[in-house]
Amino acid sequence: MSTPLSLPRQAFIYNGSINENIANFSKLITEFLKLNRGNNRPLLIRITSSGGVPEQITGLCGLLHQVQAEGHEVIVHILGQLCNFTYMVASVANKVVMEPSASLVFGQMKFLKSGNVFEIQSYIKAQKKMYDLLVEAIVERSNGQLDEATVRSWKARHMSAQEAFKFGLCDEVLAFPKAVERSNKPEHHVHMNGAFAKDGSVYDLQIAIHNWLEDSANDARPMRVFLTSWGGTVVQALSLYGLLCEAQRMGHHLTVQVLGEAYSSAIWFPTCALQSGDVLIDKLARLMFHAPSTEVDCDLDNAEELLSVEFGVYNQTCELLMRAPGFTQKLLDEMGRQPDSYLSAKEAAALGLGKLIGGRSSAYEQVATAKVD
């Protein structure tokens, strides 16, 4: 039986720690192998993960090795961030692509162990061997651009997508989406109400959007995101941001409509549609910007390096907000040094973050008359 040269890729999405919770995701991959035995269908994995159990991560890598052994290309698409050992998943892929807003974070392994001193000593040796695997994977993937000594020296290292590409740790940094023409097909509505905080709730929302995108019946349908959020975890916001950028690359016009509040990480979230779709800000909405809060618990010698990771993420999100022309570096520096900087909807619109709407404006009439699900 002949096999087509190129079959449509199968796509899965994962968000969260890679631990025993990876079981259901692994089942999807084994089912993929069963259903695609004998063909060369590529497998795309969209992923964001802040860490996990090294043995569970290498277990997932082993499963991806089997996918490749059976003739399937593996593409890893980093939506938000991969931290430490989770990069192993990308390292085994045939191709790694990153959102321009995505990043990698590397550092030393940490562990907590109690018991017999000889058991602890043995455990330390075992963990060092696990860390060796990560170092080897990074050095190999970099194709000589990073050496072992450099990687082992990273106590805390934030790496933007652009830096990762420079060092050979990803093969492509995707461009921000270009303008997408709005079709007259029924508009799909997504409600983001609350915090970008819990892996599970964000993951559920991502799965819903991901499955909608992968359904060919929805090709070219526009999407509208109603946003009311007091912020949350930056990495989780970035993971959704990346997925909405990908939605636009797939041909879906995106409208982000800010209602009520857009605080903290939610203030820069609408920029995913700023230059490619539409951003509407209700006249009653309030927006707020501040620098991230964190807690540093370490030896004094390591404090600055650990804090540099937080500054790396902060600078990364400032760059997203500066996609709005009025948000200059000088303005953000001034705002970032204040506890909280609040903006009215009118002020945010004046800074170029979106179009001010309210009452029975033409924008509201468009919402009222649009075809929906």
Tell me the pLDDT of the chain (373 aa) as tens digits.
Answer: 333 445 799 999 999 999 988 999 999 999 999 999 999 999 999 999 989 999 999 999 999 999 999 999 999 999 999 999 999 999 999 999 999 999 999 988 777 778 888 888 888 898 899 899 999 999 999 998 999 999 999 988 999 999 999 999 999 999 999 999 999 999 999 999 988 876 567 889 999 999 999 999 999 999 999 999 999 889 999 999 999 999 999 999 999 999 999 999 999 999 999 999 999 999 999 999 998 777 777 677 777 877 888 888 889 999 999 999 999 999 999 998 888 999 999 999 999 999 999 976 555 445 444 555 5
Tell me the fold of 188-369. Answer: 2-enoyl-CoA Hydratase; Chain A, domain 1 (3.90.226)
Quote the CATH superfamily of domain 10-173: 2-enoyl-CoA Hydratase; Chain A, domain 1 (3.90.226.10)
Tell me how crowded residue 148 is: count the other CB atoms within 10 A of its CB: 12
Q: Under a CB-based contact definition with an 8 Å cutoff, are residues 83 and 89 in contact?
A: no
Q: What is the pLDDT of residue 308?
A: 85
CA distance 174 to 99: 5
10-173 and 188-369, same CATH topology? yes
Q: Under a CB-based contact definition with an 8 Å cutoff, are residues 116 and 95 in contact?
A: no
CA distance 161 to 300: 29
Q: What is the pLDDT of residue 373?
A: 54
CA distance 361 to 243: 30
Q: What is the pLDDT of residue 3?
A: 38
Q: What is the pLDDT of residue 241?
A: 96
Q: Would you list the domain boundaries of the chain?
A: 10-173, 188-369
Q: What is the pLDDT of residue 1?
A: 32
Please state the length of the chain: 373
Q: What is the pLDDT of residue 90?
A: 98
Q: What is the pLDDT of residue 5?
A: 42
Q: Let me know if 335 is exposed, middle or buried by CB neighbors in 10 A (0-12, 13-18, 19+).
A: buried
Q: Dihedral sign, CA of 183, 189, 195, 198?
A: negative
